[in-house]
Structure 1
Amino acid sequence: MSDDSRQIAQLMRDAGFEVSEAAKVALFRPESIAAALVSPRGALIRATEAFARETDRRWLDREIIARAARSRTPLLTSVAPEPEAPAGGGSTGAAMFAYAPAGMAAGWPLPADFLAAAAAAPEAVVVVTVSSALAARSLDEACRSFGLSGLQSRVALATIRGGGVKPAAEALGISYHTAREALAEAMKRVGVSRLPALVHHITSFAFGLVPDEDAAEALADQWGLTPRQAAIAVLIADGLSRSMAASALRISEAVVKKELDQIYLLLDANSAAGLARRLAEANALRWITQATAGDMGFFDTSAEPVQFVRRADGSRIAVSDYGPKTGKPVLVVHSSLTSRVVGRRLLRALQGAGYRPISIDRPGFGLSDTHAGMKPGEHDPYATAAQDALLVLEKLKIGRLDVVARGGAQFVLALHRRAPELIDRAVLVNPDPHSAASSRIVGPLGAFKQAYLGNPALIRTAAGVIGRGLTYERTLRLLQASMSGSPADELAIRDPGVVRDYFHAQRMFSTGRIAGYVNEQTDFVRGSKPGPIPGTDRWRVLVAAHDTMHDPIQVLDYWREVLPDAVFSLVEDGGRLMALSQPEKVMAALDGD
């Protein structure tokens, strides 16, 4: 462990708990995972809904079950052809499975009742599959997230199932030309230039948020590919041509072709698109068997809608449009400690008052990519975030809106500078000044602020350590330590719903997506007070009297100089979590004259 890591770990211990050195985790769509609990002889004990609905017992290999019951590591394998061709025609070949003793699967991202049954039968074996054939709903949602039309989605899904354009066209009863056109437009919307990359993007996101860095290792473990074959497979699945892959690996195109023939045979794939699907499945299955803390494991898209908007360079911006479409648009801005997830109390209050909440992950947060070449301390992260927001709002055909910012005030200023006519009314809740302007050092958050000021290099280290150790229980303990002394916040975190909303808004950090936090915290440390900004007479600033992060009087003085035209309120019974736990105060400010 480095000196920086030790310092961060000590700060966490001072807050009352240990932080593990666990690796990154993956977040899965629960409906994309099918699991069964079986006896060592293969008798079915329990199955998830997806497994019971979409599979039959011919998928279970008794010989592998018997070996798995005695194994000390999960057995990753392909098992049997599918009993029936999937809807839409074509064949997806063998299905990928993981087999493990029940005790070994205790931390896998599976439903709580299933894990409880496994714990009660330690001699049993857990069998898990992530076959694309079983993820119809997840694949549909992934297509919608990327903005594909009905025809584009149908053709893309048929291509995933059938392995190519021709079988997809035949399965759908459309012409080859129509299918090609639909896929070409789908590739534009997803931001890729080749069919395998389209398949890989959609299939991967159908499983959830699964890091790609171990994809080659997954192929080697699962299918016995050589390192060179695995490297070729990853490049082809990512959309490179044979010649491009050959150039990247410094081998001849003839060698790539020869290796691909063997790869297709080993992976039971007959095309580059089929190879891309296989890679996504192998990677997802490997991450399931590595995952821990089942509470962390699920990515609930039904509660958190997501769609992607593409930048000119093909990178993506994640946005949640909660609707209804007929409501007045209001941009809900996240803090540098969270992502775009809007707390349920605030969401219900806004929708109940006739608003259409929209939330955007700023660059490097949540599911939004960073901007290429923009390093911490070397660019203005809020200016690039404002650029993203304008692109998203243009895509949504929104020319004017209100803003509610739960932190992220610097981003709102940047958006106002870029498009002063865009913002009608704005409510800034507990806006943060730059770090040197706030003298309060209270609790873990204050300790981190002080540590960052003394050594900005700690920011990246802290984000990695804390993110990897993120669970619901640790989030609760950190909140309890951080909010001590604030009556409003101490009351708020007694509500499991408030804690869970906060936890959900932080979960993406656990996957290693920390660049946005690092960029903005670096700017807090190195930044300075902006000059006065006119034209904000319809802005309201709410500052909690019991903000555990900053001295409220210092915050009021700071922002009154920056926003001389805004209306300020010191909320006597407010706390740091005011936007989450006291939405009525936000609504009163938003709807006030």
Structure 2
Amino acid sequence: MSVERTVVAQLVRDAGFDISEAPDVALFRPESIAAALLDARGVLLHATDAFSAGADGRWINPELIAQALHTQRPLLDVAASPQDAQGGPSVMFAYAPAPMAAGWPLPPALLEAAAATPESVLIVTVSMAFAEASLDAACRAFGLNGLQSRIALATIRLGGVKPAAQQLGISYHTAREALAEAMKRVGVSRLPAFVHRLTSFAFGVLPEADASAALADQWGLTRRQAAIAVLIADGLSRAMAAAALGVSEAVVKKELDQIYLLLDASTAAGLARRLAEANALRWITQATAGEIGFFDTSAEPLQFVKRPDGSRIAVSDYGPRSGKPVLVVHSSMTSRVVGRRLLRALQAAGYRPISIDRPGFGLTDEHAGKRPGEHDPFATAAEDAVRVLDQLKIRALNVVARGGAQFVLALHRQAPGRLERVVLVNPDPPTTTEGRNIGPYGALKLAYARNPAIIRLSISVIARGLNYERTTRMMQAWMEGSAADELAIRDADLVRDYFHAQRMFATGRIAGYVNEQTDFVRAPKPPPVPGTTDWRVLVAAHDTLHDPREVLAYWRDILPDATFSLVPDGGRLMALSHPEKVLAALDAS
């Protein structure tokens, strides 16, 4: 570990964060994982729904079961597809002795069964042959219609548009047109990139890592072959791949012939699917931090809105569509996940909660070329929000901001007249070396003010130690001294919601935090903002991060027309623990 990283790690520990040097993790859709537990004779003991629906005894290799038990290490196998299976020519499986797979992101029931039978073997695959439901969910998230989804599913499964059209009983021309529109919606221009993006997202959220390692480790490709495969899967032509690697197009063609043979693929689209599967299996066989490994799409609605450059904005529209739209704004330490108590209270009062991941947070892409300290991250986030509102055909809406007040200001500037009633809960002042920075996290922000260069390194260290248990301990350290917050974190659902809103950081998606924290340090104080008579600002008397008097003084200068309230029994978590206070402010005339 470098000296700089050692210093930051100690600073993070001193600030109350329990950290580890664990690698980035992936978040998997549980329904995308086909896994089973078998005894030494190959008798099925337990299986996920995906495995039960798609696999049978013909996929299983008894010799590898015995070998895994004998060697006590994970093994990989490429199993030939039974003739009547529709999952493609072959599927990759991982075999592991039950105790060695204890850290894999598998359903709890399966892990419990494995722990109870240590002499058994876990078999796992993430092939699209067993995960069409996940792929269909990915199609819906990108806004594909029924025909486009059917074409996408068939193309990914069969490796090309022509066989997909034949299987669906439609013309090749119709299939091509539908696929072209689907690629526009996903934000790519070539079929391999379309297949790779949809397939990868169908598995869940995989960190931005070197996918070529999966091909080298699991399929035996050379370094150059793996690099070519990744470029082709990303949508580059042979000529573009050759130029990127500094070799001739003839070399790329020759290597591709070998790559297709090794990967048992016949098209670039089939290669892209293989790459996504190999990368997902590589991540799933690396230990993860408990339940951090699951991406719960059933509890969190998701859709993507595309920017002009093809990058994506992640949105959750909780509904109902008949409700009054209200934008719920996340803080710089969380993502778009809305706590269930606040969510239920808003819906019960007739609202339609909508939340958006700001650039670099959660599942929203960064804006290309926007470097920390060299742009206004809240202005670019406001551009995204306007695009989302236009896409959802929402002319005006209310706002509840649990942090992110600077973003609300930027949205007010960019879209005057589109914000109706606004409630800011515990808005953050800038990060400075002056004033009171309270509590463990306040100490860390004080260090940011002194040296903004450590922001990226510190959040990277924190994110690598993120799991539910550490989040619980971290919140206990943060909230000490605030009776309201100490009571709030006794609610396991509230803590779990906060954890879910943070865990995307563990996949390495930290750019949004870095951009906004850098801006907190460097941006000048904005001038007074007129036209905010319908804004309500709630400041907790027991905020464990900032002195409420300083917060009130700072924001009263900026929002002279707004109504301010110091909440005597409020804490840092007021928006999550006391939604009735938020609703009262939102409905105030």
| Counterpart in the other structure of 2:423 | 427
Q: Which residue of 2 aligns with 1:56?
A: 56
Quick one: distance in 2 between partners of 1:71 and 1:355? 58
The percentage of aligned residue pairs carrying the same residue is 73
* 1:581 counterpart (577, 580, 585): 577
Residue 177 (str. 1) matches residue 161 (str. 2): no
Mapped partners of 2:155, 2:334: distance in 1? 37
Partner Cα separation in structure 1 for residue 16 and residue 358 of structure 2: 31
The correspondence for 2:446, drawn from 447, 450, 456, is 450
Query: Which residue does the alignment assign to 2:24?
Result: 24
Task: Return the letter of the residue paired with 1:252.
Answer: S
1:120 and 2:116 correspond: yes
- Using the TM superposition, name which of 28-37 and 3-12 deviates more: 3-12
CA distance in 2, matches of 1:142, 1:527: 38
- The question of whether the paired residues in 1 share the 8 Å contact of 2:30 and 2:295 is answered with yes
Q: Does 1:541 align with 2:537?
A: yes
1:6 is aligned to: 6
- Residue 559 of structure 1 and its aligned partner are, at CA, apart by 0.6
Gaps of 5+ in 2: none
Deviation at 1:555, TM superposition (A): 0.6
Q: Secondary structure at the match of 1:107?
A: coil
Q: What is residue 275 of structure 2 aligned with on the other side?
A: 279
How do 1:493-572 and structure 2 match up within 5 A? 493-572=489-568
What residue in structure 1 maps to residue 34 of structure 2? 34
1:252 is aligned to 2:245? no
Tell me whether 1:410 sits opposite 2:410 in the alignment: no
Distance in structure 1 (CA, Å) of the matches to 2:551 and 2:287: 42
Contact 1:8 1:458 survives alignment (8 Å): yes
Question: Taking structure 1 as reference, are residues 464 and 212 closer, same or farther at Cα in structure 2, changes over 3 Å only?
Answer: closer
Q: Residues of 2 paired with 1:76 and 1:535: CA distance?
A: 63
Tell me the alpha carbon deviations over residues 309-354 of structure 1, each in whole angstroms, 9 at most, x when there is no partner: 1111111111111111111111110000000111111111111111
Q: Secondary structure at the match of 2:305?
A: strand
The alpha-carbon deviation at position 214 of structure 1 amounts to 2.7
Q: Secondary structure at the match of 1:435?
A: coil
Match of 1:480 in 2: 476
CA contact (8 A) 1:438 1:551 kept: no
Contact 1:440 1:551 in 2 (8 A): yes
Distance 1:130 1:9, change over 3 A: same
In 2, the alpha carbon distance for the partners of 1:128 and 1:94 equals 14
- 1:26-425 equivalences in 2 (<5 Å): 26-82=26-82, 84-86=84-86, 91-425=87-421
- Structure 1 range deviating more: 439-448 or 20-29: 439-448
Task: Tell me how far apart the structure 1 counterparts of residues 344 and 185 of structure 2 sit (CA, whole Å).
Answer: 31
Counterpart residue type for residue 507 of structure 2: T
CA distance in 1, matches of 2:424, 2:7: 33
Count, aligned residues: 589
Q: State the TM-score, normalized to the length of structure 2.
A: 0.98
Give 3-state SS (helix, strand or coil) of 1:97's partner.
strand
Q: Secondary structure at the match of 2:285?
A: helix
SS of match in other structure, 2:432: helix
Measure how far apart 1:437 and its partner are: 7.9
Q: For residue 273 of structure 2, give the secondary structure of its aligned residue in structure 1.
A: helix
Could you tell me how far 1:522 is from its partner in structure 2? 0.7
More deviation in 455-464 or 23-32? 455-464
Q: CA deviation at 1:527?
A: 2.1
Q: Distance in 2 between matches of 1:332 and 1:163?
A: 41
CA contact (8 A) 1:438 1:554 kept: no
The one-letter amino acid of 1:291's match is A
**In 2 relative to 1, CA 18–421 (structure 1 residues): closer, same or farther, beyond 3 Å?**
closer
The offset of 1:17, in angstroms, is 6.0
* Matched residue type, 1:573: D
Letter in 1 for 2:33: I
* Deviation at residue 454 of structure 1 after TM alignment: 1.5
| RMSD (Å) for aligned C-alpha atoms | 1.3
The aligned amino acid for 2:307 is: R
CA offsets 1:192-224 (integer angstroms, 9 cap, x no match): 000111111111000000124231110111111
Aligned: 1:461 with 2:437:
no
TM-score by length of 1: 0.97
How far apart, in 2, do the equivalents of 1:198 and 1:579 lie?
A: 39
**CA deviation after TM superposition for structure 1 residue 263, in Å:** 1.1
Q: Distance in 2 between matches of 1:544 and 1:378?
A: 33
- 1:189 positional shift: 0.5
SS of aligned partner of 2:521 = helix
Question: C-alpha separation between the residues in 2 aligned to 1:590 and 1:438?
Answer: 33
Structure 1 198/17 Cα, relative in aligned 2: closer, same or farther at 3 Å?
Answer: closer
